[in-house]
Amino acid sequence: MNAYRLIWGTLAGVLMLVWGLAFVPVSEAKDPSPRVVMETKKPFSTFTEDLTQAIKKNKMGLVAKASAQAGAASIGVTIPGNQVFMIYRPDFAVRMLKASVEAGFEAPIRVYVVEQGNGTAQVSYIKPSDVFAGYENTELNEMAKELDTLFAAILHDAMQ
């Protein structure tokens, strides 16, 4: 009889725990960084092509491009468009490292493009001035302001 009570007592405790967890509010993780988010009116693939051209037009370099979409496809899974563009330029790298070797962790600057439910692209990035602000370095801050202008121009051109 004691085993019976132990089993039912344990089961009741587990059920109460599960019942309680069912009503725990789940919150979406908040992005701690000050991202700039823009909705485009362009289809995802068109916007990613235009972004690539805008990077070149503004004399910046596409250091790398990561594609979760291509990665998923490689294992037979289809997901909406999802790409990260990593953008920088050698002269900025030299200036950055001269000002702070530790800041090298932040380069290249990333631009994230995702396909929305309606097929258009959403683009987001963290302004370089925000990326480098934590280093509290005057030379980095000056360089970051120049990069802010370049990234704004790149995204403006890509959105046209």
H or E segment at 125?
A: strand 120-126
Q: At the topology level of CATH, where does 34-159 sit?
A: TATA-Binding Protein (3.30.310)
- Return the closest-CA partner of residue 68 out of 44, 46, 99: 44
Asked whether the beta carbons of 16 and 10 are under 8 A apart, the reply is: no
pLDDT tens-digit readout, 47-74: 999 999 999 999 999 999 999 999 999 9
Express as a percent the part of the chain with pLDDT over 90: 79
**106 pLDDT exceeds 90?**
yes
CA dist 138 and 42 (Å) reads: 38
CA dist 59 and 89 (Å) reads: 8
**82 pLDDT exceeds 80?**
yes
SS3 state of residue 72: helix
2 residue type, one letter: N
Mean pLDDT, residues 14-26 taken together = 41
